[in-house]
Each structure stands twice: as C-alpha cells, then as structure tokens.
Amino acid sequence: MNSLTLDRKSLRPWLVLLGCCMMQGGSMGVVMNTMGLFFTAVSQDLGFPVGGISFYKTVAGLSSCMLLPFVGKVLYRYDTRLTLSISAVVMALCIGLMSLFQQLWQWYAASFFLGIASAMLLTTSEPIILANWFHEKLGLAIGVSAAFSGLLGMICNMAFERVISLWGWRMGYAIAAAVCAGMILPMTVFVVRLKPEMVGRQPYGIQRGAEEPEEQPLEMGKAARLALLSALFLAAGVTLFCVGFSAQIVNYAISMGKTMTTGAFLVSCSMISNAAGKVLLGQINDSKGLKWACAVGFAFCIPAFLLLYSGNIWAMTVGSLCYGVGMALAIITPPLLTRKFFRGSDYPKAFSMVMMLATLASSFSTGILGWMYDVSGNYNSALALCLGMCIAFALLCAGMQVCCRRLENRKNYANKEHNTADTATEIVLLLKGD
C-alpha cells in the first residue's frame, strides 16, 4: 500500500469536514433556516408587520458585508479556534437575547452583531478551510458540509414549530441558542483547524511528504477585478432566489389558507431536498464538471416557483422539493466557481470579495419580499420576481461557462506559444467579446 493510499485513508481531513458540518448545521440550519417560523410568530404576537420583522435579516446581511472583505485575513492572522469560537458565542447570544425582546429596534440591534458572527461562521470560513484540507473531492466536501444546514433546517423547522405552538416563540429562540452553541463550540475548540500543516497533515489527495503544486498567484488588483466580475452573476443568482423566499415559505403557506404546521412541513421538504441536492451537485461537480452541476440544479429550481404558485398542497410540496435543490445550487456555486480561477493565498481574498457583493445583494431579499407581501396582501409579485431572478441566474451562468471555455482555449494557446497569460485581462477581453 503506497503512501498516497495511506494518506487518503487518514481520518483527519474527514474529522475537519465533520467539524464544518456541525458549524453549518448549528448556524445556518438551526438559526438562519428557521427564521421564517419566528417571523410569523413574532409578527402575530407583537403586531409587527411581516416586512418589518423580516428586515432584521437584511440588517444582519449588511453588517456581514462589512466584515467579509477581512475574513480571510482574520483567519490567517489569528488563531482559528479563537475567532470561530467567539463568533459562535456571539451568534448564540444574539439569538438567545431575542427571546427577551419587546421592541422592533432590539431585533435590528442584535442582528448587527449576528451578521458579524455569521460572516465568520457561515459565508467564507468553511469553503476556505475545506479548500485547504481537500486537494481532491472538494466539491463533495463542500456539498456534504452545506448539506447539514438543510438537514438541520428540516429537523429544526418541524421541532421549533412544535415548540412555538406549545411554549411560544420566546422558548423557541432560547432553545435555538442552546443548540447552536452546543453544536458549534466543541468543533471549533477541538476539531477544526485552518490548514493541515498545523497538525502535521497533508491535504486529502496529496502524497505524504509532497508539496501541493504551485500556481502563479495573481496580483491583488487583478484578483479584485476578477472577483468583482464573478460576483456580478453570483449576486444576481442568490438575490431573492435562495435566501429570500425560503424565510417566507411559512407565511406564504398561511396566506394561501394553510396552517403554520403545513408551512413548516413545506420548509422541511425544501430543507431535505436542499441537503440531498448539495451532496448530489457537489459530486456531479467533481465527476462531470461545474456546468453539469449547474444544468441539473436549474432543471429543478426553475419549475419550483410555478409549482409553489399553484396553491395546491401536492404541487406546493413538489415545488418545495425542487426549490431546495435550487438553494443547493446557489450555495455550492460561489466557492467552486471562485476556485476555478484562484488558488493559494489568492483564494481567501477573492472569495471574500465575491461573497461580500453576493451577501450585499441577497441581504435585502427577505425584507423586500416581506414588504411586497405587506403592500399587496399576497406573494404573487414576489414569486414572479423570484422566478425572474432564477432565469437571470441561469442565463448568467451559461454565459460564464462560455467565457470559461474560451479562456481555457486562450490559455492553452498561450502555453503553446510559451507566453504567460494575464488571467484578469483575459476575462475582461472575453466579456467584451474581443
């Protein structure tokens, strides 16, 4: 048995993956994916408009954007255990304090710090950590990690709906805070490390003792330009499609004459398909390429909003299942696509910038969808807008795949001519059609 086989069988990369799974589940699954339940319950109890209470997610997104450009630097400069553990404590504290709130501004104040914590835990840290630990099977690793948010979202939506029905939304917030801290803190303290070299390991798929192949880094200015270009379509796809409507499904079901239990069931359906979709699309990316993963994802997500619009419970159930796969596509695409262009020290910088713009755009989605409901009294225009954004995302991704193919051809030609290709300039020329 050779050293490569032995290294591949090392448990440490998979333990780090488990740690990332628990981080995703405890933050995105327990906290973020259950927000819709609390929006409806708080709105009904305290008399807040749905758009008003939904807006705290927008505030969290905006504060998250403030930190995102610096996440990569913070991860590499300070102890990962310390930064991620503090973030987990802050997130749990913010959610726990919401159980005591009476005024709308209190949610906005807490969500400012919630956004800062989520920037460290949710958006960029895990893809960066997994990219360091997995030279091979990165798509699968990101898919499995992200799947835990859907899996926990499914479980917690059903569980918290029961908790809210029996003991109220305040007890629901308190339990969510405890579960969040209990899942994340043991992983950040004892398991997760930024790089395998810190514990004497090599990335998965790298022969023991061998160095990871060096790639020419881009200058920061060029990396920034390419990240901005990538963010244009990433932000468009995420906006109003992924995060936004998922938080409104419960209230949408109620607006269609269904019960909160039915709404929680629909959310759980989207979460279980979301979990399965992330693993499936990650595996397709590793075996067939990102374009096939995108094609499969769009085949599910485009019909989702049409089925949800029908109002028929069976069609809405199928629509929720399709929507979950669409959310999976929106989650796994940004890190994998950014990875196509950036490696090494450029990847954290580029990915942070991509997610900053994507988060900035998507942070308004939940509040806007809630506002559209408050104004019109239904979700017809919101569903139409989401469908339009989904189609736009499909067209933009298709265009980017064409650019990638042309870039590869140009790089191959440049290599034959023994010429060094300027990647950022090439992308600009491709987008201009030169």
pLDDT tens digits for range 59-112: 887 888 788 778 878 888 888 889 999 999 999 999 999 999 999 899 999 999
**What's the residue count for the chain?**
434
Question: What is the C-alpha to C-alpha distance for residues 21 and 24, in angstroms, rounded to an integer?
Answer: 5
Q: Which residue has the higher pLDDT, 227 or 103?
A: 103
Helix axes 12-24, 169-190, angle to 10 degrees: 160
Q: Which of 47-51, 322-326, 362-366 has the lowest mean pLDDT?
A: 362-366
pTM of the complete model: 0.70
Question: What is the C-alpha to C-alpha distance for residues 77 and 398, in angstroms, rounded to an integer?
Answer: 37
pLDDT of residue 147 exceeding 90: no
Question: What is the C-alpha to C-alpha distance for residues 93 and 116, in angstroms, rounded to an integer?
Answer: 13
Contact 273, 321 (CB under 8 A): yes
Question: What is the C-alpha to C-alpha distance for residues 306 and 383, in angstroms, rounded to an integer?
Answer: 8
Q: Which amino acid is at 248?
A: Q
In DSSP notation, 239-269 reads TTTTHHHHTTHHHHHHHTT--HHHHHHHHHH
Burial class (CB in 10 A: 0-12, 13-18, 19+), 115: buried
pLDDT of residue 237 exceeding 70: no
As a whole-number percent, the residues of the chain with pLDDT over 70 amount to 75
Contact 248, 379 (CB under 8 A): yes
Q: Tell me the mean pLDDT in the region 323-349.
A: 72
Q: Which amino acid is at 81?
A: R
Q: Which residue has the higher pLDDT, 197 or 211?
A: 197
Contact 15, 225 (CB under 8 A): no
Contact 99, 47 (CB under 8 A): no
pLDDT of residue 162 exceeding 60: yes
Q: Provide the pLDDT confidence category of residue 406 given band limits of 50, 70 and 90.
A: low
What is the per-residue pLDDT for 420?
46
What is the per-residue pLDDT for 431?
44
Looking at the DSSP assignment, which residues form a beta bridge with residue 204? 134
**Cβ neighbours for 420, distance < 8 A, ≥ 6 positions apart:** 216, 414
Residue with tokens 């490696």: 343
State which of 86-90, 294-298, 411-415 shows the largest mean pLDDT: 86-90
What is the per-residue pLDDT for 79?
87
Q: Provide the pLDDT confidence category of residue 134 given band limits of 50, 70 and 90.
A: confident
Burial class (CB in 10 A: 0-12, 13-18, 19+), 232: middle
- Tokens encoding 419: 């010429």
pLDDT of residue 365 exceeding 80: no
Q: Tell me the mean pLDDT in the region 214-222.
A: 47
Domains of the chain from N-terminus onward = 13-198+219-432 (1.20.1250.20)
Helix axes 260-288, 313-341, angle to 10 degrees: 40
What is the per-residue pLDDT for 107?
93
Helices (H), 310-364: 313-341, 346-362
Q: Provide the pLDDT confidence category of residue 183 given band limits of 50, 70 and 90.
A: very high
Q: Tell me the mean pLDDT in the region 231-245.
A: 56
Contact 193, 80 (CB under 8 A): yes
Question: What is the C-alpha to C-alpha distance for residues 37 and 158, in angstroms, rounded to an integer?
Answer: 10
User: Which candidate, 197, 196, 146, 130, places its Cα nearest to that of 339?
Assistant: 130
What is the per-residue pLDDT for 6?
43
What is the per-residue pLDDT for 413?
53
Question: What is the C-alpha to C-alpha distance for residues 268 and 25, in angstroms, rounded to an integer?
Answer: 14
pLDDT of residue 220 exceeding 60: no
Tell me the chain's radius of gyration from C-alpha atoms.
Answer: 21
Question: What is the C-alpha to C-alpha distance for residues 251 and 367, in angstroms, rounded to an integer?
Answer: 13
